Structure 1
Amino acid sequence: MSENAPLPPEAVVTQMIFGKWVAMALSVAAKLRLADALAAGPRAVADLAAETNTHAPSLYRLLRALASAGVFAEDADGRFRQTPLSAVLRTGVPGSMRAVADYCGADWSWRPWGQLMETVRTGATAFDAVFGEPVFDHLAKRPAESAVFNEGMTGFSTQAAPAVAASYDFSPFGTIVDVGGGHGHLLCTILARRHSPRGVVFDAPHVAAGAGPAIAAAGLSGRCRAEGGDFFAAVPAGDAYVLKHIIHDWPDDKAATILRNCRATANAGAKLVLVEIVIPPGNDPSPGKWLDLEMLAIASGKERTEKEYAALLTAAGWRLARVVSTGAPVSVIEGVVA
């Protein structure tokens, strides 16, 4: 078979099946901060094992497997070095995926997928069956796990935020409320680009507590604040309500409650700005079709089509005005008061 010949179907499916191996290996490397440890140059496995408190022969096997996929590389002397793919597993670099990889392999994120069959059979959320409570209730009680989740969400935001801020004009708004805004990365990106609006990062109190330092670090304390609360009860008044990957976490009834609460406090002329993946029709590929399974297994929510978003907004007192492509997987779904 020539190098350019397509793989036979069974080989393609085999690669898909074995994808779980790669995903968990990447997550372990992220948790151990191996890319950070190699930032200064190649190192011996024994040194890395001592630094990370791991079993050197097992660590070698992990690194060897990842190197076969282009994540790290082994030199002739047995030392491992950085590659372009491993470099994005470093902490704090542009485009870092370290927090995302850490999150995706976390026990609370990984285990529910083992019950996907039962979820498909019954429609019941796998996470609730495995842990005995909904995911956000679970995380609220466990600061360490919540920190992994919030850092992972910030990691996702670093990919999407510049595209959203560049693709949608936020300059007309006086106050932008980032509902479920986590540690405020998206809102800080918007405010850094648009100098007239003010902002409020609104999230659960234990999450909003982490937004204040991030806002200060961005030099935006004079224009932006963090506020804790419950978006199922009420949200602050604003001229624009930004919700990034929030509505997809919830089934239609709960999603509509959040949107109605935004409608209830919206200033005159306010707009709704949802940042979500819009599912394309037919068999077109989309990461949203896989993220939808994550919602099915973990959060009880769903990814939606444009038609489904239009119906959801209508039920909550908004009207879908347009869908703006950002060049990233996410789109901006703009709603106006109905």
Structure 2
Amino acid sequence: MSELFNPATKSPMMAFVEIASGYWIAQALNVAAKLGVADLLIEGAKSVDELAHKTESHTRSLYRLLRTLSSVGVFNEVEPRKFAQTPISEYLRSDNPYSLRYQTIMHCDDWHWRSWGEMYSSIKDGKPGIYHAYQDHSYYEYFQKNPEAGDIFNKAMINVCRNFHTPFIESYDFSSATKIVDIAGGEGTLISAILQANPHLKGILFDQPHVLSEAKKFLAKEGVGDRCETVSGDMFKSIPVGGDIYTLSYILIDWDDDKVTTIIKNIRDAIADNGKLLVIDTVLTSANEYQWGKWLDLELLSFGYGGARTEAEFSELFEKAGFQLARHLQIGTPVSVMELSAI
């Protein structure tokens, strides 16, 4: 497996060529995800002939795909024309609770591909790529008209969040809290995991009514429906009271500074003076350091008016809304946990 994109180990020319061709990898991964190749390798290595038969694919073309993906660590050609699973390809398995299969498919879905293709226009005028492609101001608007794309996106986000949240849930001390309120928590991925890990806690999942209809089923399936109340509302108007800890996971990144300030002020109105607000989000690092979150920031440029922020930018917004940053916890994933206390 070669080391990609690294000018320290490759000539500047080769590093440039690989960077400029990066989308090749995403599309190849997408095809493998749609074909379900990783699922076929659960019980062991298989020949490309068998894989082609089971996926109804052209044998020579499938071999070229798998050979190329193996060169970046996705699959392993253990002997000529025979492929096995790798730790990376495990994330393409549909039965893996931490599967990122739908993230791969979502990234190469037509609406996503076209919106990124409008980045030149976005850089020129500041409007989202999805606006230039579809005349929608955000992916929320697009999904209202295209629910199938929204379903793939939601499935992707459930497992992305599960991967990003797990180290936080395992390491954060919830022992002194009694009730947690998750703001705009979707189907309840985060709050259900917190409640599972902390049987003494009760929770409130707060989101819009159409989201909560599915959330109740999810919470019941996760075994926490009896400890988690669902409350519908609009976070731009008011927030439920009564929690010791409030959580915002990957919410602020979707909104501009004015809307972020409104959300946090509403939480300040609801939270007790000794309560804590946990903001789980990407925090940008220094200028030249590689960080996946910087590419995520361009994703947000393509799909709305939000964006990733530095710690200093977050702190300024928090203070305007009545909070101060007490702790910044690094958890070994693309997100950080910022623990806020009321001023």
So what's the TM-score if we normalise by structure 2?
A: 0.88
Give the distance between the partners of 2:208 and 2:18, measured in 1 at CA: 40
- In the alignment, which residue of structure 2 is the partner of 1:153? 157
The answer (yes or no) to whether the contact 1:161–1:185 under 8 Å persists in 2 is: no
**Counterpart check, 1:85 vs 2:88:** yes
Which of the residues 115, 118, 121 maps onto 1:118?
A: 121
Q: Determine the structure 2 residue equivalent to 1:204.
A: 208
Are the equivalent residues in 1 in contact too, given 2:63–2:81 (CA < 8 A)? no
Give ranges in structure 1 of 5+ residues lacking alignment: none
Q: Deviations over 1:146-196 (max 9, x none)?
A: 221111111211222221113332232232111121222222222222222
- Which residue of the partner structure matches residue 108 of structure 1? 111
Secondary structure of the residue aligned to 2:161 is helix
Partner of 1:214: 218
Q: 2:12 aligns with which of 9, 28, 35?
A: 9
Letter in 1 for 2:139: V
C-alpha offsets along residues 78-131 of structure 1, whole Å, 9 cap, x if unaligned?
344323322221123254222222222222222211111111111111112212
Paired residue total: 335
Paired residue type of 2:300: M
Letter in 2 for 1:143: P
AA matched with 1:184:
G
1:76 positional shift: 4.8
Match of 1:305 in 2: 310
Counterpart of 2:9, as a letter, is P
In the TM superposition, what are the counterparts of 1:1-338 in structure 2 within 5 Å?
A: 6-45=9-48, 48-49=51-52, 51-52=54-55, 54-74=57-77, 76=79, 78-93=81-96, 95-133=98-136, 134-237=138-241, 238-338=243-343
Using the TM superposition, give the Cα deviation of residue 248 of structure 1 relative to its aligned residue in structure 2, in angstroms.
Answer: 0.6
Distance in 1 between the 2:206 and 2:36 partners?
Answer: 31
| Identical amino acids, percent of aligned pairs | 39
Alpha-carbon spacing, 1:315–1:41, altered in 2? closer, same or farther (3 Å): same
Gap change, CA 1:72 and 1:299, over 3 Å in 2 = same
In 1, the alpha carbon distance for the partners of 2:65 and 2:47 equals 14
After TM superposition, give the deviation of residue 246 of structure 1 in Å: 0.7
Secondary structure of the corresponding residue to residue 62 of structure 2: helix
Greater Cα offset, 46-55 or 123-132: 46-55
Question: Quick check: 1:275–1:331 contact (8 Å CA) kept in 2?
Answer: yes
Following the alignment from structure 1 to structure 2, what is the Cα–Cα distance between the partners of residues 187 and 148? Answer: 21
**Aligned-pair distance for 1:60?**
3.6
Distance (Å, rounded) in 2 between the aligned partners of 1:217 and 1:263: 32
Please identify, of 227-236 and 74-83, the stretch whose mean Cα deviation from structure 2 is larger: 74-83
1:51 positional shift = 4.5
Structure 1 pair 323–75 and aligned structure 2 pair: CA distance change class (3 A) = closer
Counterpart of 1:226 in 2: which secondary structure? Answer: strand
- TM-score normalised by L of structure 1: 0.89
Structure 1 residue 35, shift from structure 2 partner: 0.9
Unpaired stretches in structure 2, ≥5 consecutive residues: none
Given that residues 241 and 272 in structure 1 are in contact (C-alpha distance below 8 angstroms), is that contact kept between their aligned partners in structure 2?
Answer: yes
